[in-house]
Amino acid sequence: MLDTSAENGSNRRVAALSELVSINSVNPAQAGDRSGPGGERVLAEWLAERTSELGASVILDDVQPNRPNVYAEFPGPGDRTLAVDVHLDTVGVEHMEGDPFHGRVADGRVYGRGSVDTKATFAVLLPILEDVASGIFELDATLLLVGTVGEEAGGLTGAFRFKEWLQEQRRRLDGVIVAEPTNCRPVNGHKGGLGLEITVRGQAVHSSKPELGANAISAGARVATALQAESDRLEEGSPSAMGTGTICVTEIAGGRARNIVPDECRIYADRRLVLGEDPESTYAELRALVASAAAPLSVEIELAYGRWTSAFYTPPESAIVTQIAEASGAEPELATYGTNALAYGDDIDQLVVFGPGSIDQAHQAVEWVEVSELDRADDVYRSWLGRWTNK
C-alpha cells in the first residue's frame, strides 16, 4: 500500500528541493567565478526528463541559445487548463556563504541558492504529480507546468516567450499561478515598470584644458540629480493601494582615464509604476526630463529590453484569488517586488502570485526555506488542482 502519510510527503518535498538546489541555474547575466557561465538548460532538461517520466507531454522551447523554457502538460478531465509558472533561473552566488548548491537540510530548513526563490514550488508540485501518476491523486483540469528562463535578469524573456507560445498555439488558460515566495499568501497585485538606458555624449580633451571639451560625467550628474528630484516628487504624491511610483538610478559609469575629460557617461534608471500610471506617457515625460538635464550635451535614451509593463492587479474577489486565500487561510495582499505576472496581466484575468517561503530570504548570502512552508504550499496546491482518490 502506498505511503500517503504527511511525513512521507514532507520527506519527498525536501528530497526534491535538495536535488533541485544542487542543479546550478544561475542567470547568465549574474554568473561569476563560483557559478561558471550559468544558464538554465541543465535544470530545464532535468525537469523535462522527470515530468516526462510522470506522464507529461513535454516541450523544450529555446528562448535564447542554450536557454529553453519547459512546458510540461499533464492531461486532466474537461476543457479547463491551469498553469503554474516557476522561473528556472536564480540570482548569482558570488556573495554566498558556503557551498551555494549543497541543498543541505538542517533545523527544519532547506538551504542553498534557489531554495526559496523559487525551486521550492517545483519541489511541492513534483510529489503531487508523482501521486497523479500513481493514481492516488486526480487532477480536476489539465495542468501546464511551466519553467521559464530570464526572470531574475533580462526583462522576463521566458515569460514573454511563453505568452507568445500560448498565442501561437491558440491556447487559453483558465487560471495561472506565478510562483514566488509569498509566505503561502496570495499576492494579487504589484507594481509594473520600465527601465531607462541613458548615454550622455560629451567631447574628450586633455584634463589640463577642460574648457575645450564637454564633460559627459558632469552632465550625467545633472541627470542623476534631476531623477532624484523626480523621485522626491513621486514620494510626496498621493499614494495608491500600491503606494507611489518610484524612480531610482541604479548604475552609473563613465570616464576613460584620469587625465581625459570624459566623452561618455552611462546611466540606468529603474521606474516602478503603480495602478493608473500610463507607461507610454511616463516614458515620454522621463525622456524630456533627461534631455533637459543633460543639455547642452546630447543624450541617447533607450527603453530597457524594448518594453514596459503596466502594474499587475487581479481583484481580490476574483475566483482564483478567493480559492487560494481560502485554501491558505491567508488574506490576499499587494507586493513591492515584480514577477512574471507582468507578462500575463493584460491577457489572463485569473492570475495570482503564490508560493512557499519569504521573499526576505531570497537573494541573500544564506538562502533557505522552512520545510513547514513546503507542507503548507502542498495543501494549497492539492486543494486547487484536484482531489485524493485513495487517502
| Amino acid, single-letter form, for residue 120 | A
pLDDT at residue 390 is higher than 80: no
pLDDT of residue 287: 98
Rounded CA-CA distance 308/277 in Å is 12
**In sequence order, what DSSP letters do the residues of 19-77 get, joined into one string?**
HHHTS--B-GGG-BTTTBT--SHHHHHHHHHHHHHTT-EEEEEEEETTEEEEEEEE--S
Q: Which pLDDT band, with edges at 50, 70 and 90, does 391 fall under?
A: low
SS3 label, residue 323: helix
Amino acid at 16: A
- Considering the chain, what percentage of its residues have pLDDT values greater than 70? 98
pLDDT at 96 over 90: yes
In this predicted model, what pLDDT tens digit does every residue of 293-345 receive, in sequence order?
999 999 999 999 999 999 999 999 999 999 999 999 999 999 988 999 999 98
Specify the pLDDT at position 89: 98
The pLDDT tens digits for 166-187 are 999 999 999 999 999 999 999 9
Domain range 6-190+311-388, CATH architecture: 3-Layer(aba) Sandwich (3.40)
Helix (H, G, I), strand (E, B) or coil at 344: helix
Span of 6-15, 103-112, 113-122 with lowest mean pLDDT: 6-15
Q: What average pLDDT does the structure give for the chain?
A: 96
Q: What number is the average pLDDT over the span 135-139? A: 97
Percent of the residues in the chain that have a pLDDT greater than 90, as a whole number? 94
The grid cell for 114 is 534557489
The mean pLDDT of 32-42, rounded to a whole number, is 96
Domain segments of the chain as ranges = 6-190+311-388, 192-306
Residue 199 β-bridge partners = 266, 300
Does residue 45 register a pLDDT over 60?
A: yes
Topology (CATH) of 192-306: Alpha-Beta Plaits (3.30.70)
Name the residue among 340, 196, 220 with its Cα closest to residue 268. Answer: 196
**Cβ neighbours, 10 Å, residue 37:** 10
pTM (predicted TM-score): 0.93
